[in-house]
Chain A
Amino acid sequence: MYKNFLRYIISALFLLGLSVQANADFKVGFVYVGPTGDHGWTYQHDEGRKAVEAAGIKTTYVESVPEGADAERVIRQLAQSGHDLIFTTSFGYMDPTNKVAKDFPNVKFEHATGYKREHPNVSTYSARFYEGRTLLGHMAGKMTKTNVIGYIASFPIPEVIRGINAMTLAAQKVNPDIKTKIVWVFTWYDPGKESEAAQALIDQGADIIMQHTDSTAPVQVAEKAGVWSFGQASDMQRFAPKSILTSIIDDWAPYYVERSIAARDGTWKQQDTWHGLKEGMVAMAAYNPAMGSDLVKEVEQLQKDLASGKTHSFTGPIYDQKGNILVAEGSVADDGMLAGMNVYVKGVEGDIPQ
């Protein structure tokens, strides 16, 4: 405290700019689940970090941190080494983040895609990716010839299941005969395994490949096999120029900049953020003209309606696989239900791994 005080005085004397200099040590840390070069999930978070850096705030990051015991060690290390705000950017960092937050009440924590805020210094944030999935479902339903949509899934958590359901519902709306086939790979990032999964789905008749994993391998397999695909997290178009219909893009930059500045200026408050197409946290890459200008127009309209709230991804009636009603006709799923989604809707094949 005393040391800090002295530093403030000195800097004030030298620079006459107390407010700026007082926060010169302000640092923001980022924890990534994959490498920054994945061109998917982590890549986009790192783009957000660069925006924070461009706003004049010092940042550091640790990449490829496994979810689990290692994560806690890394987060703790960042907290100990003087970081004032720490973004932990994967679902599996949820418990470690809260655990470390308890021991460092003066450090602010922001956890992506989780729901636990056990301490006042933990915020959560996520994007409504499912709105993007609704658009993909619409395109998939229109573009498929085999009526089989292949879906590479990572882990059976609500976010992934929500994406599968949103996609399936939208596809059914335009094509009642479609089937969603899912392969669980139990990893966020393993190019070899992801491409094998894509191949397995194509061999089973899927002519649309969708992924909730982070590497560009599946779209490349799709390109080679001559089937349609969708990019995940960032614009993957150049990896499969013919095959990709569009990509769901996560744009974290505005949020990261806003929260970092808030933390620096002392206005940071705990909150739970869930932004979508409307706020721009979820964005769509350019639509592939190969799908025809009519469909592009349709999808663009749907995108506008989702953003304005005119259409909701989960509009009733929605049934689960057994035919029980989940959302009644005329109403939409509330955020609580979406956040904890753990059943498939009708039309998805197989069981959710328990």
Chain B
Amino acid sequence: MSFDLNFIGILIGAIMASSVPLILAASGELITERSGVLNLGVEGMMIIGAISGFALMIVTDNLFFAVIGSMLSGLIISIIFGILTQSLLTNHVATGLALTIFGIGMSAMIGKNFVGIPGKEFPLLFVNLKENIPFFGPILFGHSVILYFAFLLPFITNYFLKKTKIGLIIRAVGDSPTSASNQGINVILVRYSCILYGGAMCGLAGAYLSLIYTPQWIENMTGGRGWIALALVVFATWSPIKVLIGALIFGGITILQLHMQAIGFRIPVQLLSALPYIMTIIVLVIISRDSRKIKLNTPTSLGQIFYKEK
């Protein structure tokens, strides 16, 4: 049983790695939801991203194309959602659910020829530093570039929403599309953009799974992470920083409970398995109990269909 400092560092590094797909998908979905669109297709877009990334990696043998391609494929499939909900005014919830089912089926179909092919090594940065600096090394170094991006993303998103003009426009559209429209903002265009951005981030989250985390293609490999990401956005009351905290807690407890089992803690295993869900909800509810702030962050028009009056 090893409890030295370096091991704890390795553990924290593993926790960070496991929360990356949640951070990426939830950050993307957060922008979509802040514009007033509820896209329940996160899982579907993630799995499409996962297979596209993996397939492109095998076919082109180029990781850059694979990553960009996964984002594009997430984006393309989110266009379907955009056309249906924004142009054809279908119900957000039903369309999103359909998107998930479609994504899972579609990915399985594309993936038939890619099952059982081992993935390629994804380059990790600063591997030397990881091994030579105790404790901080495994936490800060030896990760993929996508991980660093994922950990910056919530801060960028926060700044973007609060301090930039486009962020303000997105929030305005999400809170009151009618007033925004009367101000001359093209509500549909803004929402389309946010949907596409969300799709791209979900695609990237999926690619992280199939290219880096478990480098292979397996059907259903997202394993419900899209749904967790969706729940995180709500429990984090649409705040990017809290999404980051929630994702880390969820990833952390998932990994810790497996380690606790391996170490041999005498805690009922069922309780340990439920712990990630319970703790994430408890912590997020506690840190988000300021109702004034919740009101400020909640997109009031979430999930409502917007008709532009002519």
Closest to A42 in B: B219
Does A200 make an interface contact (CB < 8 A)?
Answer: yes
Residue contact B255 to A215, C-beta cutoff 8 Å: no
Residue contact B18 to A184, C-beta cutoff 8 Å: no
Complex interface bits, A210-230 against B, C-beta within 8 A gives 1, otherwise 0? 000001110010000000000
Looking at the assembled complex, report how far the CB atom of B259 sits from the nearest CB atom of chain A, in whole angstroms.
5
Residue contact A38 to B219, C-beta cutoff 8 Å: yes
In the bound complex, residues from chain B placing their C-beta under 8 Å from that of A186 are: 269-270, 273
Residue contact B1 to A205, C-beta cutoff 8 Å: yes
Task: Give the CA-CA distance A220 to B121 in the complex, in Å.
Answer: 12
Closest to B272 in A: A184
Task: Give the CA-CA distance A34 to B220 in the complex, in Å.
Answer: 9
Does A196 make an interface contact (CB < 8 A)?
Answer: yes
Known contacts A196-B18, A205-B1, A238-B116: does B219 contact A37 (CB below 8 Å)? yes
Chain B residues 244 to 287 lying within 8 A of chain A, measured CB to CB, are 254-255, 258-259, 261-264, 266, 268-270, 273
In the bound complex, residues from chain B placing their C-beta under 8 Å from that of A354 are: 268
Q: Within the complex, which residue of A34, A220, A350 is in contact with B261, where a contact is CB–CB below 8 Å?
A: A350
Does A195 make an interface contact (CB < 8 A)?
Answer: yes
In the bound complex, residues from chain A placing their C-beta under 8 Å from that of B108 are: 35, 37
In the bound complex, residues from chain B placing their C-beta under 8 Å from that of A217 are: 214, 216, 218
Does A204 make an interface contact (CB < 8 A)?
Answer: yes
Residue contact A191 to B261, C-beta cutoff 8 Å: no
Known contacts A192-B209, A193-B223: does B218 contact A200 (CB below 8 Å)? no
Residue contact A203 to B214, C-beta cutoff 8 Å: no
Looking at the assembled complex, report how far the CB atom of A227 sits from the nearest CB atom of chain B, in whole angstroms.
14
A-B contact count (CB 8 A): 110
Looking at the assembled complex, report how far the CB atom of B207 sits from the nearest CB atom of chain A, in whole angstroms.
14
Known contacts A181-B262, A191-B221: does B115 contact A353 (CB below 8 Å)? no
A: interface residue count bin: 35 or more
Known contacts A37-B112, A39-B116, A353-B269: does B214 contact A204 (CB below 8 Å)? no
Known contacts A37-B218, A193-B223, A200-B262: does B273 contact A184 (CB below 8 Å)? yes
Q: Within the complex, which residue of A191, A196, A197, A350 is in contact with B264, where a contact is CB–CB below 8 Å?
A: A350
Complex interface bits, B81-123 against A, C-beta within 8 A gives 1, otherwise 0? 0000000000000000000000000001001100110100000
Task: Give the CA-CA distance A97 to B225 in the complex, in Å.
Answer: 30
Task: Give the CA-CA distance A351 to B255 in the complex, in Å.
Answer: 20
In the bound complex, residues from chain B placing their C-beta under 8 Å from that of A193 are: 223, 254, 258
Known contacts A39-B116, A199-B14, A200-B259: does B266 contact A353 (CB below 8 Å)? no
Residue contact A216 to B218, C-beta cutoff 8 Å: yes
In the bound complex, residues from chain B placing their C-beta under 8 Å from that of A37 are: 108, 111-112, 115-116, 218-219
In the bound complex, residues from chain B placing their C-beta under 8 Å from that of A35 are: 108, 218-220
Q: Within the complex, which residue of B1, B111, B118, B255 is in contact with A200, where a contact is CB–CB below 8 Å?
A: B255
In the bound complex, residues from chain A placing their C-beta under 8 Å from that of B214 are: 191-192, 195, 217, 220
Residue contact A190 to B223, C-beta cutoff 8 Å: yes
Task: Give the CA-CA distance A190 to B228 in the complex, in Å.
Answer: 14
Task: Give the CA-CA distance A150 to B116 in the complex, in Å.
Answer: 24
Q: Within the complex, which residue of A192, A197, A351 is in contact with B223, where a contact is CB–CB below 8 Å?
A: A192
Residue contact B258 to A191, C-beta cutoff 8 Å: no
Does A302 make an interface contact (CB < 8 A)?
Answer: no
Chain B residues 199 to 215 lying within 8 A of chain A, measured CB to CB, are 209, 213-215
Looking at the assembled complex, report how far the CB atom of B266 sits from the nearest CB atom of chain A, in whole angstroms.
7
In the bound complex, residues from chain B placing their C-beta under 8 Å from that of A74 are: none
Looking at the assembled complex, report how far the CB atom of B111 sits from the nearest CB atom of chain A, in whole angstroms.
7
Does A283 make an interface contact (CB < 8 A)?
Answer: no
Closest to B209 in A: A192
Does B65 make an interface contact (CB < 8 A)?
Answer: no
Looking at the assembled complex, report how far the CB atom of B253 sits from the nearest CB atom of chain A, in whole angstroms.
12
In the bound complex, residues from chain A placing their C-beta under 8 Å from that of B241 are: none
Does B180 make an interface contact (CB < 8 A)?
Answer: no
In the bound complex, residues from chain B placing their C-beta under 8 Å from that of A31 are: none
Q: Within the complex, which residue of A64, A206, A220 is in contact with B219, where a contact is CB–CB below 8 Å?
A: A64
Complex interface bits, A36-57 against B, C-beta within 8 A gives 1, otherwise 0? 1111000000000000000000
Task: Give the CA-CA distance A217 to B118 in the complex, in Å.
Answer: 11
Does A284 make an interface contact (CB < 8 A)?
Answer: no
Complex interface bits, A159-194 against B, C-beta within 8 A gives 1, otherwise 0? 000000000000000000000011111110111110
Does B190 make an interface contact (CB < 8 A)?
Answer: no
Does A279 make an interface contact (CB < 8 A)?
Answer: no
Does A239 make an interface contact (CB < 8 A)?
Answer: yes
In the bound complex, residues from chain A placing their C-beta under 8 Å from that of B263 are: 204
In the bound complex, residues from chain A placing their C-beta under 8 Å from that of B213 are: 192, 195
In the bound complex, residues from chain B placing their C-beta under 8 Å from that of A187 are: 223
Does B307 make an interface contact (CB < 8 A)?
Answer: no
Residue contact B255 to A201, C-beta cutoff 8 Å: no
Looking at the assembled complex, report how far the CB atom of A215 sits from the nearest CB atom of chain B, in whole angstroms.
6
Known contacts A35-B108, A193-B223, A205-B1: does B266 contact A351 (CB below 8 Å)? yes
Task: Give the CA-CA distance A245 to B90 in the complex, in Å.
Answer: 54
Does A349 make an interface contact (CB < 8 A)?
Answer: yes
Does B10 make an interface contact (CB < 8 A)?
Answer: yes
In the bound complex, residues from chain A placing their C-beta under 8 Å from that of B259 are: 200, 203-204
In the bound complex, residues from chain B placing their C-beta under 8 Å from that of A195 are: 213-214
Q: Within the complex, which residue of B11, B225, B273 is in contact with A192, where a contact is CB–CB below 8 Å?
A: B225
Task: Give the CA-CA distance A238 to B219 in the complex, in Å.
Answer: 18
- 22 A-B pairs within 8 Å (CB atoms) are namely A35-B108, A35-B219, A35-B220, A36-B219, A150-B262, A181-B262, A181-B264, A184-B261, A184-B273, A187-B223, A191-B221, A192-B221, A193-B258, A195-B213, A196-B255, A196-B258, A205-B2, A206-B262, A216-B216, A217-B216, A350-B266, A353-B269
| Other A-B pairs beyond A64-B220, A186-B270, A204-B2, 4, CB < 8 Å | A34-B220, A37-B116, A196-B18, A350-B264
Question: What residues of chain A have their CB less than 8 Å away from a CB belonging to chain B?
Answer: 34-39, 64, 150, 181-187, 189-193, 195-197, 199-201, 203-206, 215-217, 220, 238-239, 349-351, 353-354
